[in-house]
DNA sequence: CATACTCTGGCAATCGATTACGCCGTCACC
DNA sequence: GGTGACGGCGTAATCGATTGCCAGAGTATG
């Protein structure tokens, strides 16, 4: 803790170098003309004093903070750290920093962060929140700063970057079908999750196109977390022990399913196949390793930052497509195998 | 991204309410006296205009940002999100926000964040960085703001909050011994990780106290990540296939070991027992679930924030113990079992 | 030698809040 | 009715940077 000396200001540097604060500012910013000896004097003074300009004062004067707000649903879901890291890297190369908020599945926390970030005068906002209320949406549309929403349904008034959730889920369910499964359960996230509906739709479309009757494609509710997957699979086993494959809203849910199945003494993929969605790191950590559809998490984070930075650095930006869709990729691992015979 | 109107300032509110900015400031802050009708007028004006005070201007004036910098080694290691979340919650209740930086195992990025955070005038710094160079340490000691370091060795000039790494590792190795293991390998993190040395020491002390000869307690180097664990176990199998148990620097390494063992066709814990350290969420996701020693991650994050907030809110704070040690707890799961006979 | 132009660099305004200071008016008490 | 206390609120300084404008010195040109 120690003493806390007043940080050196531009005035201290100016005095020491024998010039005005204006000159210090110009020299350090490298704008305008200055005699070489003046430059040297200023640089020396700044160096000796260990001068670091106050970002606060600069932000006030420049009316920009070079900070981007990023709100995620749940930093503990491994999906998000990867996205956050990519966003952070992209932000740094574009000269921005990230102010992070984790909503922890709580809509009121989302709103709290939104207010906080606007108070802090972030230059832009990235919302990677699974759920966003109507109130929140209105707020965002009226936001004083540029906003990008990740994994929301495109088409609204806001810029979006979205994985092809319908296609991704369709792809992986198609994979299950090709393995011979004909009774496939789907464990949803929470209905309020923005990606829940499209993924569910990808599932429904695919099974119905394959001629699977609705009753052989039961749907259960989860919560996007391990416990939800575990609970859902317990219910499923009690009501439809005849399903041979389970598709899940996300990998974390699938990991819960794996656990539940193991507790019940069922083998994966021998008795039941399981697939997830997202391709988080842990998908390849568990045994059996999860077959899943990969989202381009890093690209999402990077693109979101780049898009906002582009608008910010060029105010009359022509505006690239407001809605971007990222493809998903099938990752074949061990948790899905041929349907058991009989 | 729509129009970007100038945010309303205190002056706008003052004009609309027909008072001075001083009065607006006082009314909104609830200090001083004001006539009820003045209060009402100000509140109304602020409400109608949707006024939100500029945190930037306030920070400049107050010389405090109510922001805490938090630097973690690697946001992708599940150990950290849990800590970050706890810190964030504690910060919010204390009226602070968290500016996060992930060093991604790169010392230069740590320094970059340190500079950035000081430029942004954070009120305090929390370093949850596995590795910190001598240069970084000097920097921190001279820091203009209070600093707390997590999981560094206590005793330096800086405040620390540390898990009992020696004791934790000793506890879990003792557990292995009690299961009958007599040839136990240890897979380290990187030697530069601050927790690597104490954990290694916990291992060495315990095996040697049990009379295990050094040659039956081989040590390998890892990197604290899955790949390091996987690589180390490959080496181990080639050189010392007779070990019956493997203790790891952390859970992520242990998960890598689990993978390597499975690839090699060995069964856990039938052929080899594996233990980790940290107790991340994923420790109970994998199969077999990891036996490990749990760090109090949430308490760490919370305490770090509370300690800094205490100093900040009471400048002549008596100063609680500069070094806190948190106990670790044994979590018995499935990955460690009796040593195979023979 | 005078005029014009280019370099340098200082002065002062500005960003949006907070707050010390002091003025004015009202009320109470003697 | 005079005076002191106090409530209510405005004026202006301040935080630390950036930048438009301008002055003075120096140089070039006619």
**pLDDT tens readout for residues A40-97:** 999 999 999 999 999 999 999 999 999 999 999 999 999 999 999 999 999 999 999 9
Longest dimension (CA), chain B: 91
Q: Given this model, what pLDDT does residue B317 score? A: 63
Of B102, B115, B311, which has the smallest distance from its Cβ to A88's Cβ?
Answer: B102
Q: Check whether the bond before B326 is cis (ω within 30° of 0).
A: no
CA-closest candidate to residue A110, choices A124, A125, A89: A125
* Token pair of A32 as six digits: 């305008």
Q: Do A78 and B75 touch (CB under 8 A)?
A: no
CB atoms inside a 10 Å sphere around CB A142:
11
Chain A residues whose CB is inside 8 A of the B116 CB are 97
As a whole number, mean pLDDT of residues B291-314 equals 94
Instruction: Starting at the earlier edge strand, list the strands of the sheet with A159-163.
Output: A97-102, A67-72, A124-128, A147-150, A159-163, A323-326
Give tens-digit pLDDT for A308-320.
999 888 766 656 5
CB contact under 8 A, A97 and B120: yes
Beta strand pairing status for B184-187 and A184-187? unpaired
- Residue with more model confidence, B252 or A107: B252
Mean pLDDT of B135-151: 89
Q: Examine the pLDDT at A2 and tell me if it is beyond 50.
A: no
Query: In which residue are the tokens 């540029």 written?
Result: A146
Please give the model's pTM, rounded to 2 decimal places.
Answer: 0.91
- Dist. CA A46–CA A42, nearest whole Å: 6
Does position A25 have pLDDT exceeding 80, yes or no?
Answer: yes
Of A52-61, A188-197, B311-320, the range with the lowest mean pLDDT is B311-320
Please judge whether B281 and A81 are an interchain contact, meaning their C-beta atoms are less than 8 angstroms apart: no
Confidence category of residue B198, pLDDT binned at 50, 70, 90: very high
Q: Is B135 helix (H, G, I), strand (E, B) or coil?
A: helix
Q: Which nucleotides of C are covered by protein (CB under 7 A)?
A: 7-12, 14-20
| CA B34 / C1′ D9 distance in Å | 8
Look at residue A142 in the predicted model and tell me its pLDDT. 85
Helix (H) or strand (E) holding B149: strand B147-150
Average confidence (pLDDT) over A233-238: 97
Interatomic CA distance for residues B248 and B263, integer angstroms: 18
| DSSP string for residues in B287-307 | SSPPBEEE--HHHHHHHHHHH
The Cα–Cα gap between B128 and B302 comes to: 12
Treating both helix axes as pointing N-terminal to C-terminal, what angle do B36-49 and B21-29 enclose, rounded to 10 degrees? Answer: 90
What pLDDT sits at residue B78?
93
- The residue-averaged pLDDT of A316-342 equals 85
State mean pLDDT over B312-319: 70
Going by C-alpha positions, the residue among A65, A83, A93, A157 that lies closest to residue A126 is A83
Find the mean pLDDT for residues A264-269. Answer: 96
């Amino acid at each position: 803790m120690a003493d806390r000396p007043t940080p050196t200001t531009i005035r201290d540097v100016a005095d020491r170098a024998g010039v005005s604060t204006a000159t210090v500012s110009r020299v350090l910013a490298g704008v305008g003309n200055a005699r070489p000896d003046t430059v040297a004097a200023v640089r020396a003074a700044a160096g000796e004093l260990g001068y670091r300009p106050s970002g606060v004062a600069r932000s006030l004067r420049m009316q920009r903070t070079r900070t981007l707000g990023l709100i995620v649903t749940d930093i503990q879901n491994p999906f998000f750290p990867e996205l956050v890291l990519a966003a952070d890297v992209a932000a740094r190369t574009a000269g921005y920093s990230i102010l992070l908020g984790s909503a922890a599945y709580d809509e009121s926390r989302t709103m709290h962060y939104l207010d906080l970030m606007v108070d802090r005068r972030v230059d832009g906002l990235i919302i990677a929140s699974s759920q966003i209320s109507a109130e929140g949406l209105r707020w965002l549309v009226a936001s004083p700063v540029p906003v990008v929403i990740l994994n929301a349904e495109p088409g609204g008034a806001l810029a979006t970057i979205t994985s092809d959730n319908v296609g991704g889920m369709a792809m992986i369910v198609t994979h299950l079908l090709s393995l011979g499964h004909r009774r496939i359960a789907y464990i949803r996230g929470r209905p309020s999750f923005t990606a829940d509906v499209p993924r569910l739709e990808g599932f429904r479309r695919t099974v119905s196109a394959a001629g699977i009757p609705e009753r052989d494609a039961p749907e259960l509710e989860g919560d996007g977390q391990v416990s939800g997957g575990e609970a859902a699979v317990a219910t499923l086993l009690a009501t439809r022990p005849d399903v041979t494959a389970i598709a899940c809203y996300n990998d974390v849910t699938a990991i819960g399913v794996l656990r539940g199945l193991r507790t019940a003494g069922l083998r994966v993929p021998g008795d039941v196949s399981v697939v997830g969605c997202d391709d988080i790191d842990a998908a390849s950590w568990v045994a059996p390793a999860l077959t899943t559809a990969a989202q381009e998490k890093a690209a999402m984070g990077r693109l979101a930052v780049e898009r906002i930075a582009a608008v910010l650095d060029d105010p009359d930006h022509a505006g690239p497509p407001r809605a971007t869709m990222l493809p998903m990729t099938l990752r074949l691992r061990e948790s899905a195998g041929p349907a058991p015979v009989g």
